[in-house]
Structure 1
Amino acid sequence: MGKSKVLVVGGTGYMGKRIVKASLAQGHETYVLQRPEIGLDIDKLQMLLSFKKQGAHLVEASFSDHRSLVDAIKQVDVVVCTMSGVHFRSHNILLQLKLVEAIKEAGNIKRFLPSEFGMDPARMGYALEPGRVTFDEKMAVRKAIEEANIPFTYISANCFAGYFAGNLSQMGTLIPPRDKVHIYGDGNAKVIFVDEDDVATYTIKTIDDPRTLNKTLYLRPPENVLSQRELIGKWEKLIGKELEKTSISEKDFLSSIKGLGYAEQVGVGHFYHVFYEGCLTNFEVGEEAEEASELYPEVTYTSMDEYLKIYLQN
């Protein structure tokens, strides 16, 4: 059997552009949805044209035109959606319900990977309001997929390194501090940090793999299962300096959420579950799921020791 043809929806986004790159790199005929809503966004248009230069096909379709979506889907075997909605409030997640309807009508898709790539929403039914809205919406999409009997793989990629590792998990910055750092609680809850390019590589690996059909794939690179203190220690070693640490108690952290705007409350609520409750690592990957680094040992993933080096000044 040849490699599946892949349609990437949301290909100009943060994860989408990486999925397109990984799909092309792994030899898949790759299609990228080009939505007329792009309007005058020159950056997105030029990114789409750069994909075309690399060998991808651009397919025009709109979420407001069901027939165009069906026609686009009929050209491929696999659909990967990367629409935004990971940490801050986004209305895009539920747009995927239109995609599900189009996939159902097209009737030819061998695998659909909806936009998840974060915590496993199936394990977050208890999450704090308003942050749980993200998980509720993702579960609504899952329900529609499964009711339509569409073959799927769900990707639980845990914490993107660009947002959580490069800044030592500090809020309000994307670069690592050089003097002072905040520790959440005792800083010993285990967290999973994954380089976004590795997320894309593992994601594309799954699409023709019968072992991941109708399962959740957890990304848990063993070297990157770290506590916040361990992550900070790696940075201190790189810069040859110990940072001044201030611990934020669980009570103070929860109190700080109340004064924030809606979008910030969503993101900070997720932070709470990760760094105080250890929600990414407080369970075993069961029989109904798979772990990426075990399935694909040939992938050389980026360790956080290596990842942090890019933030050094020289």
Structure 2
Amino acid sequence: MVTSDQIVCPSQFVALIRAKSHGHGTGYISRRIVAASLAAGHPTFVLLRPEIGLDIDKLQILLAFKAQGARLLEASLDDHDGLVAAIRQVDVVVSAMSGAHIRSHNLMLQIKLVEAIKQGGNIKRFLPSEFGRDPSRMGNALEPGRVTFDEKMEIRRAIENANIPHTYVSANCFAAYFSPNLCQMKTLLPPKERVGVYGDGNVKVFFVDEDDVGTYTIKSIDDPRTLNKTIYIRPQDNCLTQNELIAMWEKLSGKSLTKFHIHGDEFLASMKDTDFAHQVGVTHFYHIFYEGCLTNFDIGDNGAEATLLYPDVQYTRINEVLKRYL
């Protein structure tokens, strides 16, 4: 999730959502997973934490889930016994938490979730909070951004040491965060006159619509082909270079943008004297748009590609996403 919302989902189906956020918007990915679960006909449970306090927006989201047929379970991630009791009502758990906010306290909460799942002993599949790049392939990531991958690997080790059946989901670049802005930082809207191009702009990137992330995630929870593996959501029609993305927008909008190229060293130097969150963002962008970390490897035997596993899913093309901004 692109906040610290917590989801838990199952095939008898659970979605436990932690209704507390420090970030971009409650339930950014989790609400899509819940919607996909309900659409697939799974009994869906959503965790209502007492820490929700007076946050009316988050409460309204949870009540909307309830109106659609989800069941709200009251429990706290800080209450081990209560969390175990909630987990024993489901058979799949999905955790969705923003990578930007997974550090420190939230890492501890995810470890607590793993411990509760281990004690419960009934979970057939656990999908931890990933949904971005595969952290196992980011061992050489730059500081300070590597903290995201190091802590996700710590959670993976806890899962595997506890022998919990699992699936990891790598969803690459969320379409709404990376495509309308033509991959520019600090904005979600299309540039009006000028656009920064990373290097030569020819590095391939996978862009994935967020609703499709929810659909593919739910497809995977009962699939024996995804057990103890990583699924990569890699829609081939959405494998684009930044130059191709810019050209697509220019064609749709009928407007030409002035391009200026940013050398890799110059881009990394832009971290100087900025806050920690920006520094993390710069290093992540560097790995994606300069090194090609999303496309420079073969999946191999320990993974599977979602669009090949589920060819029936009609995923959203990026030109359809861009049209929303015309």
Q: Structure 1-normalised TM-score?
A: 0.96
Counterpart Cα distance in 2 of 1:308 and 1:207: 30
Residue 88 of structure 2 is aligned to residue 80 of structure 1: no
After superposition, what is the alpha-carbon deviation per residue over 1:47-97, rounded to whole angstroms, capped at 9, x for unaligned?
A: 101100000000011111101100010000100001222478674234210
Contact 2:11 2:92 in 1 (8 A): no
Matched, 1:9 2:23: no
Conserved in 1, the CA contact under 8 Å of 2:132 and 2:172?
yes
SS in 2 for 1:79: strand
Task: State the aligned residue count.
Answer: 311
Aligned-CA RMSD value: 1.5
Amino acid at match of 2:251: K
In structure 2, give the amino acid aligned to 1:228.
Q
> CA–CA distance in 2 between the matches of 1:105 and 1:222?
41
Please tell me whether residue 144 in structure 1 is matched to residue 158 in structure 2. yes
Amino acid at match of 1:67: D
| Matching residue of 1:204 | 218
Aligned counterparts, 1:1-314, within 5 A? 3-10=11-18, 12-86=26-100, 91-312=105-326
Contact preservation (8 Å) 2:135, 2:153: yes
Q: Indicate the SS of the match to 2:69.
A: coil
SS at match of 2:45: strand
Structure 2 portions without partners, runs of 5+? 1-9, 20-25
Cα pair 2:176 2:210 within 8 Å, conserved: yes
* Contact 2:16-2:95 at 8 Å conserved across structures: yes
> Deviations for 1:88-119, whole angstroms, at most 9, x for unmatched residues?
86742342100000000000000000000000
CA positional deviation for 1:5: 1.9
Give 5+ residue unaligned stretches, structure 1: none
Preserved contact between residue 13 and residue 37 of structure 2 (Cα < 8 Å):
no
Normalization by structure 2: what TM-score? Answer: 0.93
Q: Distance in 2 between matches of 1:277 and 1:89?
A: 24
Partners of 1:282 and 1:10 lie apart in 2 by 35
Identity %: 67
Measure, in 2, the Cα distance between the counterparts of 1:209 and 1:294: 13
Deviation at 1:292, TM superposition (A): 0.4
